[in-house]
Chain A
Amino acid sequence: MTDVLHPVHVGDAAHDDHAEHHGPTGILKWLTSTDHKVIGLSYTVTAVVMLVIGGLFAEIIRGQLASANGTLVSFAQYNELFTMHGSVMIYLFAGPFAFGALANIIVPIQIGAPDMAFPRLNALSYWLYLTGSITMLSGFFTAGGAANFGWVGYAPLSNSLNAPGAGADLWIGGLLLTGFSAIFTGVNLTATIFYLRAPGMTMFRMPIFTWNLLVTAILILLAFPVLTAGLIMLYADRHFGTHIFTVAGGGVPVLWQHIFWFWGHPEVYILALPFFGMVTEIIAVFSRKPVFGYKGMIFATLSIAALSLGVWAHHMFTTGVVLLPFFSIMSLLIAVPTGIKMFNWIGTMWRGQIWFSTAMLMAVGFVFTFLVGGITGIYLASPPLDFFTHDTYFVVAHFHSVVMALVLAGMAGLYYWGPKITGYLLNETLGKIQFWFLFIGTQVFTFPMYILGLQGMPRRMAVYPNDPQWVHLNQIASLGAVLIGVSTLLFVVNLIYSWKKYPAGDNPWDAHTLEWFTTSPPPHHNFYRLPQIRSERPTWDHNHPEHRALHHGEHETTHA
């Protein structure tokens, strides 16, 4: 084998029969397509709409909390709003955006596959997701209003006595539908990654994004069926007279918490790992270096996934009915692989040539914000500290640092991969302004909430004691929420402003992975030809054959 890489032809570019794939166009194409890119784009649009809806709920919540005795909404409306804010953001935005939208578009191309393993199942996933989302949100139009028991739906607050309305049933139904959507996506991603990799794409040559999606998919398969079972039990309690979570018939309310969090903590990583993957790719590309500690990164991801299945009861330290030391040490240990990732990201930037595109700014913003969320999470793994921060704004601040970090990462992903799927770049100046609003807004929004929590403000309060300091801190947090809202608006403006304005070309970022080897947007079955795959950076190897990855102590031999 010579050092020069020869492209492998997998189609005949001259005849271009892939591009002239005859099928329906326009709305009919969108309705009937089983192409992973079309489905992925549908997912992306739907998820971004959900982000905007969930964001609007958040703005109303922050408006209500801008004064101690807010009158913007009633107590009942407030309970519905934070329940649906959490539900929309977790169930309908973050997950589907991560493993439905970007994974769908990018994973098959990154491994050199023509499509997902089960294209029709993939379409079913999307339609279940859309119908589930509509089902859940339609609760607002029922007589009793939407679900109002928090996004965690603790029994017995969620039983038919305490939450009699149809909104609660629609919440359960919507969650069942999107849950099945996630399970099918998990099956599809696992099969795709195991069976459809291009020749040469061994497991340890898969890009980190694909690796993280594989681990995510496996976690989905382990966790989501448990939630589905729990939801069916809850529904049976509500309507079929069972007493699984009801004390009266010998049931155990706290069992719901076990079931919910047995799904719920892996879910945190189901949400986070895809975004970690996005950021890993983006930092490497814009630092013009390979991912530092590539294999360590993979093992870190695997150990996070393994640990995440044994930490669910750290959400239940204050129930008094769980084994504290076990869940404490398991939760603390997650800091270790997470720390490895953090240092790998920094190591990737180290001695690089960092190009601060919008995508890279968003990725660095993620790293810092996630550092804050990660460190404050360590406190919560210690039961004595959790005892006095649990269910206060400290916890709210902690997980908003984490999820806002994921939003930053998601935006990085959109700016980075958007051009691949649309063929057009977004405006960089607008993007950078958006970044600063989002990044500063996030910190202004979360930091006061940490202090509020330590001063004893519980979460999910429509009104709060009129302490001047609490009012001020809440107002600062609300200001942060406004800044974040402006950033989202700027993103929408950018989408409209940049519409088909800046052609991207095949590889605008001098990127590493296979998706940048094909056209933007890729043809029907993704590739006319593939480069030889000899590392996790086949496109880079093809474009820069003299700059291969090195071990410590190794140096580039000039004129190789």
Chain B
Amino acid sequence: MAVLPVAGLVLSGCTIPSFGAHPGVSDTSKQAFHLWQGFSVAAAIIGTLTTALIVWAVLRYRRRGDQIPEQVQYHLPLEVVYTVLPILIVIGLFAATLVVENKAVANPSTNVVVNVNAFQWGWQFTYPGSNALVYGQTTQSPEMVLPVNENVHFNLTSTDVVHGFYVRQFNFSRYALPGVVNQFTIRPTQTGTYFGQCTQLCGLYHSLMFFRVKVVTDSQYSQWLASFNNPAAKARYTAAVNTTNAELSSGVPSKATYTNFGSGK
């Protein structure tokens, strides 16, 4: 019974408040946002009811005399109700979770692939099949360019410690693990520039490990890719990819490469 309103709210999420979360600028982020709203409505109802019970008990049953109250210890039907009801709610929440989760972790076929390499303390974005390479440390905030309304496949890894790839407007984050290539797909639906940051503590300059995501139209994206169509960019790209592979295979981060972070504290 409790499942129905929750599921209904998840489906018709647009008309209810945001409860603080971002509505999302990609397919899965919007679904995650609606799931958030559904959970929040359930939380608000349960939280309000329970708080009301606490407040009522505290106000109504203040000590008013020395008589000893009835020593009621068990009320089995009531206990069964507040055991079974939460189980039903949990099943409802889990069902809604499954629907959204399966989409969030799905990897449909794609044309656009971005390899993301996290390192202390910056990001490297390479676009296989082209010479596009973006690279930057800390407050240089390297900017990843993505086409709107296309499935973008990410291959995420780290050359040294664990990092967290997180873009708030995508309602998504994933660890960049050394020795593991994490794959996920995001389909941005709104053009714009979004702020990204490392979320997993990765050492001294973790606080400054920024990046940006710029979602552009298809033609702008093609133009951007074409701007890398020259021998210099190609040489840069090849060097970058080879460095990364060498580091990955040895597993030892060559920190010397990444120590020039300017005026970090």
Beta-carbon contact of B160 and A162 below 8 Å: yes
Distance A342 CA – B174 CA, assembled complex (angstroms): 34
Distance A254 CA – B65 CA, assembled complex (angstroms): 60
Instruction: Tell me, yes or no, whether B192 is within 8 Å of chain A by CB.
Output: no
Binds B, one of A178-186, A412-420, A457-465: A457-465
- 1/0 per residue, CB under 8 A from A, across B48-79: the answer is 00110110011001111101111111111111
Contacts of B29 in A (CB 8 A): 388
Q: Across the two chains, which residue of chain A brings its CB closest to B248?
A: A247
Instruction: Tell me, yes or no, whether B193 is within 8 Å of chain A by CB.
Output: no
Instruction: Tell me, yes or no, whether A451 is within 8 Å of chain B by CB.
Output: yes
- 1/0 per residue, CB under 8 A from A, across B11-36: the answer is 00000000011100000110110011
Binds A, one of B96-104, B109-117, B237-245: B96-104
Known: A290-B73, A388-B172, A458-B164. A254 touches B177 (CB 8 A): yes
Distance A74 CA – B264 CA, assembled complex (angstroms): 10
Beta-carbon contact of A556 and B83 below 8 Å: no
Beta-carbon contact of B70 and A556 below 8 Å: yes
Beta-carbon contact of A254 and B79 below 8 Å: no
Beta-carbon contact of B72 and A550 below 8 Å: yes
Contacts of B57 in A (CB 8 A): 346, 349-350, 352, 354
Instruction: Tell me, yes or no, whether A292 is within 8 Å of chain B by CB.
Output: yes
Binds A, one of B123-131, B142-150, B178-186, B227-235: B178-186
Secondary structure type dominating chain B contacts:
mixed
Contacts of A342 in B (CB 8 A): 50
Instruction: Tell me, yes or no, whether A320 is within 8 Å of chain B by CB.
Output: yes
Whole-angstrom distance between the Cβ of A247 and the nearest chain B Cβ: 4
Instruction: Tell me, yes or no, whether A13 is within 8 Å of chain B by CB.
Output: no
Beta-carbon contact of A349 and B161 below 8 Å: no
Q: Across the two chains, which residue of chain A brings its CB closest to B18?
A: A454
Q: Across the two chains, which residue of chain A brings its CB closest to B168?
A: A456
- 1/0 per residue, CB under 8 A from B, across A139-161: the answer is 00000000001100010110001
Binds B, one of A129-137, A206-214, A269-277, A367-375: A367-375
- 1/0 per residue, CB under 8 A from B, across A281-313: the answer is 000000111111111100000000000000000
Q: Which of B32, B200, B265 contacts A74 (CB 8 A)?
A: B265
Beta-carbon contact of B201 and A154 below 8 Å: yes
Whole-angstrom distance between the Cβ of B2 and the nearest chain A Cβ: 12
Beta-carbon contact of A548 and B71 below 8 Å: yes
Beta-carbon contact of B72 and A292 below 8 Å: yes
Contacts of B170 in A (CB 8 A): 388
Whole-angstrom distance between the Cβ of A111 and the nearest chain B Cβ: 20
Beta-carbon contact of A332 and B164 below 8 Å: no
Distance A340 CA – B55 CA, assembled complex (angstroms): 18
Those of A250-279 within 8 Å (CB) of chain B: 252-254
Beta-carbon contact of A552 and B197 below 8 Å: no
Q: Which of A340, A367, A460 contacts B201 (CB 8 A)?
A: A460
Contacts of A376 in B (CB 8 A): 43
Q: Which of A329, A352, A379 contacts B43 (CB 8 A)?
A: A379
Those of A352-404 within 8 Å (CB) of chain B: 352-356, 364, 367-368, 371-372, 375-376, 378-379, 382-385, 387-388, 390-392
Distance A113 CA – B119 CA, assembled complex (angstroms): 58
Instruction: Tell me, yes or no, whether B132 is within 8 Å of chain A by CB.
Output: no
Distance A346 CA – B49 CA, assembled complex (angstroms): 12
Instruction: Tell me, yes or no, whether B246 is within 8 Å of chain A by CB.
Output: no
Contacts of A246 in B (CB 8 A): 251
Beta-carbon contact of A390 and B69 below 8 Å: no
Instruction: Tell me, yes or no, whether B258 is within 8 Å of chain A by CB.
Output: no
Q: Which of A353, A465, A551 contacts B73 (CB 8 A)?
A: A551
Those of A459-516 within 8 Å (CB) of chain B: 459-465
Contacts of A149 in B (CB 8 A): 201, 203
Whole-angstrom distance between the Cβ of A441 and the nearest chain B Cβ: 19
Contacts of B201 in A (CB 8 A): 79, 149-150, 154, 157, 459-460
Whole-angstrom distance between the Cβ of B164 and the nearest chain A Cβ: 5
Known: A253-B178, A353-B65. A332 touches B93 (CB 8 A): yes
Q: Which of A288, A352, A551 contacts B74 (CB 8 A)?
A: A551
Beta-carbon contact of B53 and A346 below 8 Å: yes
Contacts of A161 in B (CB 8 A): 252-253
Contacts of B171 in A (CB 8 A): 384, 387-388
Beta-carbon contact of B94 and A75 below 8 Å: no
Beta-carbon contact of B39 and A450 below 8 Å: no
Beta-carbon contact of B177 and A387 below 8 Å: no
Distance A292 CA – B61 CA, assembled complex (angstroms): 15
Instruction: Tell me, yes or no, whether A33 is within 8 Å of chain B by CB.
Output: no
Instruction: Tell me, yes or no, whether B220 is within 8 Å of chain A by CB.
Output: no
Q: Across the two chains, which residue of chain B brings its CB closest to A454?
A: B20
Those of B155-201 within 8 Å (CB) of chain A: 160-162, 164, 166, 168, 170-175, 177-180, 182-184, 195, 197-201
Contacts of B173 in A (CB 8 A): 318, 387-388, 390-391
Whole-angstrom distance between the Cβ of A261 and the nearest chain B Cβ: 13
Instruction: Tell me, yes or no, whether A324 is within 8 Å of chain B by CB.
Output: yes
- 1/0 per residue, CB under 8 A from B, across A1-41: the answer is 00000000000000000000000000000000000000000
Whole-angstrom distance between the Cβ of B193 and the nearest chain A Cβ: 14
Instruction: Tell me, yes or no, whether B202 is within 8 Å of chain A by CB.
Output: yes
Distance A350 CA – B83 CA, assembled complex (angstroms): 18
Instruction: Tell me, yes or no, whether A199 is within 8 Å of chain B by CB.
Output: no
Beta-carbon contact of B172 and A328 below 8 Å: no
Instruction: Tell me, yes or no, whether A336 is within 8 Å of chain B by CB.
Output: yes
Q: Across the two chains, which residue of chain A brings its CB closest to B39?
A: A379
Contacts of A287 in B (CB 8 A): 61, 69
Contacts of A391 in B (CB 8 A): 164, 166, 173, 199-200
Q: Which of B61, B83, B94, B177 contacts A340 (CB 8 A)?
A: B83
Distance A288 CA – B166 CA, assembled complex (angstroms): 51
Distance A287 CA – B100 CA, assembled complex (angstroms): 45
Distance A550 CA – B74 CA, assembled complex (angstroms): 7
Distance A328 CA – B96 CA, assembled complex (angstroms): 12
Beta-carbon contact of A552 and B101 below 8 Å: no
Beta-carbon contact of A367 and B76 below 8 Å: no
Q: Which of B68, B90, B199, B200 contacts A353 (CB 8 A)?
A: B68
Best-surrounded residue of B71, B76, B166 (most CB of chain A within 10 A): B71
Beta-carbon contact of A296 and B79 below 8 Å: yes
Beta-carbon contact of A248 and B252 below 8 Å: yes
Beta-carbon contact of B97 and A450 below 8 Å: no
Those of B200-256 within 8 Å (CB) of chain A: 200-208, 250-253
- A residues with a Cβ closer than 8 A to B are 74-76, 78-79, 149-150, 154, 156-157, 161-162, 246-249, 252-254, 287-296, 318-321, 324-325, 328-329, 332-333, 335-336, 339-340, 342-343, 346-347, 349-356, 364, 367-368, 371-372, 375-376, 378-379, 382-385, 387-388, 390-392, 450-451, 454-456, 458-465, 544, 547-552, 554-556
Contacts A/B (CB < 8 Å), 11 sampled: A248-B251, A253-B179, A318-B173, A318-B174, A375-B47, A376-B43, A379-B39, A385-B36, A385-B39, A547-B71, A549-B73
**A-B complex: 7 closest residue pairs judged by Cβ atoms:** A456-B168, A248-B251, A247-B251, A247-B179, A391-B199, A552-B75, A549-B73
